[in-house]
Copies of this chain bind each other. A is one copy, B any other.
Amino acid sequence: MSGTINFTQAYQRALYESMEADPSVIMLGEDIADEEGGGVFKVTAGLSTKFGAERVRTTPISEQAIVGAAIGASLAGMRPIAEIMLMNFITVAMDQIVNHAAKLRFMSGGQTHVPITIRTRTGAGIGAAGQHSDMLEAWFAHVAGIKVVVPSTPADAVGLLSSCIFDDDPCLFIEDSLTRTVSGPEPDPGHRLPLGKAHVDREGGDVTVIGYGRPLLDTRKIAAKLADEEGISVEIVDLRTVSPWDKETVLNSVAKTGRAVVVHEAPRSFGVGAEVAATIQEELFGQLKAPVLRATSRDVTVPFARILEQEYLYKPADIESAIKSTLK
């Protein structure tokens, strides 16, 4: 570890290292080549210049064509990375992702597989309103055959995105719009993290907080504060891979603490937290000292006005009070 990098730099590094390591890694998406500015969020800046216009291609605004081309190229032995600029636009490519990418391995009886990575970006809190802010990871988690990955530190972003690219199954990698300039320690070159494995991010004995992505940035601060100020010992489990998720690590932690809070940015109802909570209560009934609680955003379209958008979003205070509720 030589210094710090932010999330944007982390994505850039994983892409750069992967393209350098393997010529079968190719990319496509809107505006991603340097002639078009290297991507509207600059994540792909420099790649087309370095690795050639053949391997890094700007596309028309055609998300079905983007994901379809990634699938086809992957069937022919490539490892394509498709960028879907914002997650709400993935709605036009659901057929390609769900009916095809996720299912071709199974439907072909294992004769083919689809090693694509779909990078997308989303998250509320930037005033982008109803059609540019949705966290839709629960949809994909409900579909067998695709992996859903969300990093919560820049170093994890490097390790997880690299693993997605070299994984033999379709991976959906979700980047957060709000925290792109947040920094953290820089990982070693070639850093990879296993998919499907959760990470005990902080050890603690009183209550387990399970989550992924942005809310864990809040949770880390809350846990430190609660330890300092109130002597509450919070264990944090970072799912890292939302689906298929690492039940074992989660259940081991909750078996120890007896209390659990699930946090995510997506709306509460029918979100990822429901599955985690349902599984915990099923597996650890009788060992739980409190109900499994959820701290999430609200069941409503993301509003435009800042004050309403903040009211929509999960609040750090919600996480804190959920933790304390389990201790009552």
B-contacting residues, A132-155, CB 8 Å? 136, 138-139, 141-142, 144-145
Instruction: Kindly list chain B residues whose C-beta atoms are within 8 Å of the C-beta of A138.
Output: 138-139, 142, 270
- Which of these, B89, B131, B301, contacts A145 with CB under 8 Å? B301
B-contacting residues, A84-121, CB 8 Å? 88-89, 91-92, 94-95, 98-99, 102-103, 106-107
Instruction: Kindly list chain B residues whose C-beta atoms are within 8 Å of the C-beta of A275.
Output: 269-271, 274, 278
0/1 string, A120-133, CB within 8 A of B gives 1: 00000000011100
CB nearest to A290 among chain B residues:
B285
- Which of these, B294, B300, B304, contacts A282 with CB under 8 Å? B294
How many copies of this protein are present in the complex? 2
Min CB distance A267 to B, Å, is 7
Is A291's beta carbon under 8 Å from chain B? yes
Instruction: Kindly list chain B residues whose C-beta atoms are within 8 Å of the C-beta of A95.
Output: 88-89, 91-92
Instruction: Kindly list chain B residues whose C-beta atoms are within 8 Å of the C-beta of A271.
Output: 142, 275
Do residues B300 and A106 form an inter-chain contact, with CB atoms below 8 A?
yes
Instruction: Kindly list chain B residues whose C-beta atoms are within 8 Å of the C-beta of A107.
Output: 129-131, 301, 304
Query: How far does the alpha carbon of A304 sit from the alpha carbon of B271 in the complex, in Å?
Result: 29
Instruction: Kindly list chain B residues whose C-beta atoms are within 8 Å of the C-beta of A20.
Output: none
Is A272's beta carbon under 8 Å from chain B? yes
Closest 9 CB pairs of A and B: A285-B291, A277-B278, A91-B95, A274-B274, A91-B94, A142-B270, A281-B281, A106-B301, A274-B275
9 contacts between A and B (CB under 8 A): A64-B92, A99-B130, A106-B301, A142-B270, A274-B274, A282-B291, A282-B293, A282-B294, A285-B290
Known: A136-B142, A270-B272, A277-B282; 12 extra A-B contacts, CB below 8 A, are A91-B94, A106-B300, A107-B130, A107-B131, A244-B269, A270-B274, A274-B279, A277-B281, A282-B291, A282-B293, A282-B294, A283-B291
